[in-house]
Amino acid sequence: KQEVTQIPAALSVPEGENLVLNCSFTDSAIYNLQWFRQDPGKGLTSLLLIQSSQREQTSGRLNASLDKSSGRSTLYIAASQPGDSATYLCAVTPSNQFYFGTGTSLTVIP
């Protein structure tokens, strides 16, 4: 069964810093990998989706990379802002399923 791990579990940074969140998965046979953010008491917001044939995707201050062979993805957030504070989840799709990591709780301090 696919296992997805996210490190660190929690992260606190001062506003303006660049930061990297990590996601690793055990089975490289995936169709795609997605990054989501979740605000307290809310559902998830899709941030970036990387197809298995791609190596990275960018949206604004966010950049996600995918290395299927090593089972790793990173989410890079540039010039962090207090509004970026949330829990960030990665999910991989091997077939008709999603497997989620346990998330990284990010706090950006003004």
Partner 1 sequence: GAGVSQSPSNKVTEKGKDVELRCDPISGHTALYWYRQSLGQGLEFLIYFQGNSAPDKSGLPSDRFSAERTGGSVSTLTIQRTQQEDSAVYLCASSRMATGLNQPQHFGDGTRLSIL
Q: Which residues bind partner 1 (CB under 8 A)?
A: 31-32, 34, 41-46, 49, 51, 89, 91, 93, 95-103
- Closer residue to partner 1 (CB): 71 or 103: 103
CB of 40 to partner 1, least distance (A): 11
Q: What is the 3-state composition of the chain as percent helix, strand, coil, each rounded to the nearest 5? A: 5, 55, 40
The distance of Cα 67 from the centroid of its chain, to the nearest Å, equals: 13
Please report, to the nearest 10 degrees, the dihedral formed by the alpha carbons of residues 35, 21, 94, 70 taken in order. Answer: 150
- Closer residue to partner 1 (CB): 28 or 32: 32
Amino acid (one-letter) located at 64: A
CB of 95 to partner 1, least distance (A): 7
CB of 96 to partner 1, least distance (A): 4
